[in-house]
Amino acid sequence: MSRDRRIVAELGRPETPEETAARKAAASKRHRDNQTFGNLIAALAVCLGLVLVMVLVVVRPGPPEREAIDVPAAAAAAQPTFDVPLVAPALPEGWDANLAEVRGGADGVTTWYAGYVTPEQQFLSFTQAVDANPTWLATAIEGAPQTGEREIAGITWTEHDQRAAEDPGNLAFVLTTQQGASTVVVAGTAGDAELQTFAEAVSAQLAAGE
């Protein structure tokens, strides 16, 4: 016995075989379209997941190593510019120079400068000026007040301790001295032990050059 044909509300009558076939075909198409869209979303999610895993798992290369600065070699190259022996301190392993250069400063004073990263990842530098004047020195240390003196390797240094200041920058502790025509400034953020090591190495060079 055949089933009663479906009555379509909009038509107010049973649908014809052709209308039934068209309705079923349209429903099948909607189902297939929904499946295709769902499969596309699933595929995109899988691809994004794989990309995320690759980003998290793949080892990224670290930053390129900083090119080492050979201070003695740089000093030898710069020496013809100066009439006094240039400082090139002999420091223990773990001290890395990040800059060594000749600079033209205020009042026409030419200087020899080198900056270092210490083993404790602090900063220290020296500046050697030839025939400098008091104005140049005051500018170089940004007017840091004198707080004492110390003798290192036979060289008397004037101390300028600004470590208690709010923002002393790279002039947290400054040592200054004058040896012959050279005025030398040691400055940086390192602690007492590293500062002493650095100042001893610079003092030894100054003493040897007298």
pLDDT in tens, 168-185: 999 999 999 999 999 999
pLDDT at 63: 46
Question: Mean pLDDT lowest for which of 18-22, 82-86, 151-155?
Answer: 18-22
**Which range among 3-7, 70-74, 89-93 shows the weakest confidence by mean pLDDT?**
3-7
Nearest Cα to 123, choosing from 113, 133, 111, 132?
113
**CA 144 to CA 125: how far, in whole Å?**
16
In angstroms, rounded to a whole number, what is the distance separating the alpha carbons of residues 170 and 190?
Answer: 9
Band the pLDDT of 152: cuts 50, 70, 90. very high
Alpha-carbon gap, residue 141 to 161, rounded angstroms: 11
Q: Residue 1: its pLDDT value, please?
A: 43
Q: How does residue 11 score in pLDDT terms, banded at 50, 70 and 90?
A: low
CA separation for the pair 192, 24 (Å, rounded): 88
The tally of CA atoms less than 13 A away on the side-chain side of residue 107 is 14
Q: Apex CA 145: angle with CA 141 and CA 149, to 5°?
A: 95
Q: Give the 3-state secondary structure of residue 141.
A: coil
* Torsion, CA 172, CA 178, CA 182, CA 185, rounded to 10: 0
Residue 181 neighbours by CB under 8 Å, 6+ apart: 83, 84, 130, 131
Question: Tokens 């250069």 belong to which residue?
Answer: 101
For residue range 116-131, what is the model confidence (pLDDT) as tens digits? 999 999 999 999 999 9
pLDDT at 33: 63
R_g of the chain, CA atoms, integer Å: 39
